[in-house]
Chains A and B, each alone.
Chain A
Amino acid sequence: MPRQNIELRIRRQDSPTGPSRWEEFVLPWQPSMNVISCLMEIRKNPVTKQGQKTTPVHWESSCLEEVCGACTMLVNGKPRQSCTALVDNMPDGPITLEPLTKFPVVRDLQVDRKPMFEALKIVKAWVPIDGTYDLGPGPKLSQSEQETSYAFSRCMTCGCCMEVCPQYNTRSDFIGPAPLGQVRLFNAHPTGRMNAHERLDAIMGRGGIVDCGNAQNCVEACPKEIPLTEALGELGKQTTVYWLKNLLNK
């Protein structure tokens, strides 16, 4: 028996530094709704459950098929993509929506995921191919290598793993699991591997791999089921070997 009405409790915030407040909304149920279509309904007529007129709720979304990560928010306290948060799959009772807590709020449910993008730059999460001549096609990957790399390549920098990581917070410099997963990806790439030491250098300081505390929440939260904890172990191994080599050879 589907619900007749959908109740939403939304944590709202008008500006990046402003105070936050809760607002409640009720809307009629329609088939196949997701959280974003609920927000679109509210936008048509932004009136709270108590009958007060308010501003439309602000959120960010793009692909609407769980590949861009833009619409990530806390739905009933859990970080996930709101575009694939289907109302009919949720338990009865009000649905709470909050912005992610580990990133600066822009407005209402939209956060700025810039810290993650900056971290990707720090760890050089790319394969450098710019140059003065054509490098030609790179070496081939084996089937099993392709499969592992494919898993990591699906990261959409949504921030779910960062949200649940106890070591990723304002008291710590830790860059978080998502960029580390990308180091794992690009260090396995046959051409990217040539710059592996640069990425290892980048994660062997303050905020790097040694600041992970092995809570392994990240892997539980990742909607793309990226084996983040395997990446952390693998990078533990790569940094150990690289560190010992340097100690002995330099």
Chain B
Amino acid sequence: MNLTDRQYFALKRAHSLTGVVPIGLFLLEHLFTNSKALQGEAAFNAAAAELARIPYVGAIEALGIWLPIAFHMVLGVIIATTGQANLGKHGYARNWQYTLQRVSGVLLVFYILFHTWMTRFDSDYLNSVSAYAFVGEQISNPAVFAFYVVGIVSACWHLGNGLFGFAIHWGLATGRQAQRNASRFAMAVFLVLTIVGLNSLLAFAGKGIYPDWLTKPHGAEHGPVVYEGGQH
């Protein structure tokens, strides 16, 4: 491909941007919806069904999720091949983070292909009565469960640490202290998302951690009314 300099610049910036919007936003939404599994089978299935009823869902899914992910993924793999990892010689913390950004990206290629196939296109999934039960069944296989753990941690790392790269590429964090703060923020995002993500995974196995004080809004006597059994 013959790109002009400015097109090259724009492509690289588009790669950086798509990582945060829409892909990063989508990851937040995805973990949020998955956390509904903490409220039980009916709550999760209702949330999933509600998503499918979003207006223009087909266009939003194709143009807002698949296309950006495909673009980010292809360019990401190309970018990863231009680096020459040198952790062995120079084991600085940031060099670890640089390398893990690439490793997690490559892991995500496999994970995303597997995960979207199983929970979006597989005919058994599409014909299943309960999406919650289908996922629960899947992850009862320890190998699949382990792969989900790897995928979730990779995605959360990749987004969290990606925010640090984003802040520098776009010039949001220029000074030393600002970059240190960006790094702290990035690690906090990674940790929080990882906890939320893994807890929602456990929820599909019926083992999610959901203590009382987390279920009720502050000051309320009761938690929110939860769907009881009713399928949508």
Contact = CB atoms under 8 A, between A and B. Distances in A.
A234 B170 CA distance: 9
Contact of B95 (A77, A166, A169, A174): A166
**Consensus secondary structure, chain A interface:** helix
B12 A216 contact: no
Residue from B10, B83, B173 whose CB has the most chain A CB atoms within 10 Å: B83
Contact of B90 (A204, A205, A221): A221
Contact of B8 (A169, A171, A206, A241): A206
B9 A166 contact: no
Nearest to B170: A240
B170 A230 contact: no
Interface stretch (A63-71, A111-119, A134-142, A207-215): A207-215
B98 A215 contact: yes
Contact of A243 (B3, B4, B13, B173): B13
Contacts of A233: 167-168, 171, 173-175, 178-179
B228 to A, nearest CB: 49
**Consensus secondary structure, chain B interface:** helix
A214 B9 contact: no
Interface size class of A (residues with CB under 8 A): 35 or more
Given A215-B95, A216-B92, A227-B176, A238 B171 contact: yes
Nearest to A202: B5
Contact of A215 (B5, B94, B172, B174): B94
A220 B89 CA distance: 13
A237 B89 CA distance: 31
Contact of A204 (B6, B92, B95): B6
B85 interface: yes
B99 to A, nearest CB: 8
Interface of A: 77, 164, 166-167, 169, 171-172, 174, 201, 204-206, 208, 210-217, 220-221, 227, 229-230, 232-241, 243
Given A215-B98, A241-B171, 17 more contacts: A166-B84, A169-B82, A169-B83, A204-B9, A205-B6, A213-B79, A213-B98, A216-B95, A216-B98, A217-B92, A217-B98, A220-B94, A230-B179, A234-B174, A237-B170, A237-B171, A238-B171
Identify the 5 closest CB pairs spanning chains A and B, nearest first: A237-B171, A205-B5, A215-B98, A236-B171, A233-B174
Interface of B: 3-6, 8-10, 12-13, 79, 81-86, 89-90, 92, 94-95, 97-99, 101, 164-165, 167-176, 178-179
